[in-house]
Amino acid sequence: MPSYAIAVAGLPGAGTSFVAWNLAVVMGLTLLEGVKTGSLSTWTGDSTTVQQALDETLPLGTVVDDDYSIDSIMARRVIVDCGADRLHSIFVRAKTRIWVTRLDPVQPPIPARALVVVNRVPQNLPFDVREVVKTKIALTIPDGGLDVVLSMFTHRAWITSQDREIQEKWKSLVSTKGDGDKWDSIG
């Protein structure tokens, strides 16, 4: 069975839902909330079911349908927010996996085959982020402060207010190549 879904998971409090939401918006893909946190439905103002989002090709499906087929999700180009669950069935099966972490000297093991995104990186850091994370980093996201908070309250993804260069960096995290049937990860 093909695996087209992009799974996003990460450390608790690292901003997994934030990364999944903004990546879905910049890529123009449907975003599914794979865990029942309620974060995405609150931030986006959406309460569409997964089935409705997939059947109608809607941008969001933030209410998890327990009985919805994992195979049906995996067979589509969607982004799934798996929260902090590195053992989430979609995260385990996904060909493209994104792991969101933060700057912390104590870094748990990073899941195999995962692209690493470091969120909330302060400006003018006096050391290289790679010294902390100790792995190849696919994307660093600056600490957005007030802009990030406002995006959650206005139901407007933070990435939409960023310049084209930043949006292109996010898009380069995952892209389609060739016949468009396979996801290719950079990094």
Three-state DSSP class for residue 112: coil
Q: Is residue 1 part of a domain?
A: no
**Contact at 8 Å (CB) between 122 and 105?**
no
Three-state DSSP class for residue 47: coil
Full-model pTM: 0.88
pLDDT confidence of 85, banded at 50, 70, 90? very high
Q: Residue 185: what pLDDT? A: 34
Q: How many domains does the chain have?
A: 1
Q: Residue 184: what pLDDT? A: 35
Q: Is residue 179 part of a domain?
A: no
Range of the domain at 81: 6-173
Is pLDDT of 30 > 60?
yes
Of 46-50, 168-172, 178-182, minimum mean pLDDT range: 178-182
The two structure tokens encoding residue 76: 């589509």
Rounded-to-integer distance, Cα 85 and Cα 94, Å: 13
The Cα angle at residue 107 between residues 158 and 157, in degrees rounded to 5: 5
Rounded-to-integer distance, Cα 55 and Cα 22, Å: 22
Q: Is residue 184 part of a domain?
A: no
Q: Is residue 155 part of a domain?
A: yes
Rounded-to-integer distance, Cα 58 and Cα 68, Å: 16
Q: Is residue 88 part of a domain?
A: yes
Q: Is residue 151 part of a domain?
A: yes
Rounded-to-integer distance, Cα 187 and Cα 185, Å: 7
Q: Is residue 106 part of a domain?
A: yes
Phi, psi angles (nearest 5°) of residue 71: -60, -40
Q: Is residue 180 part of a domain?
A: no
The two structure tokens encoding residue 132: 């902390």
Query: Could you give the percent of the chain with pLDDT greater than 70?
Result: 90
Nearest CA to 12 out of 80, 101, 89, 118 is that of 101
Q: What is the CATH number of the domain that holds 92?
A: 3.40.50.300
Q: What is the average pLDDT across 20-36?
A: 92
Q: Residue 67: what pLDDT? A: 59
Rounded-to-integer distance, Cα 45 and Cα 20, Å: 15
Q: What is the average pLDDT across 6-27?
A: 95
Is pLDDT of 186 > 50?
no
pLDDT confidence of 38, banded at 50, 70, 90? confident
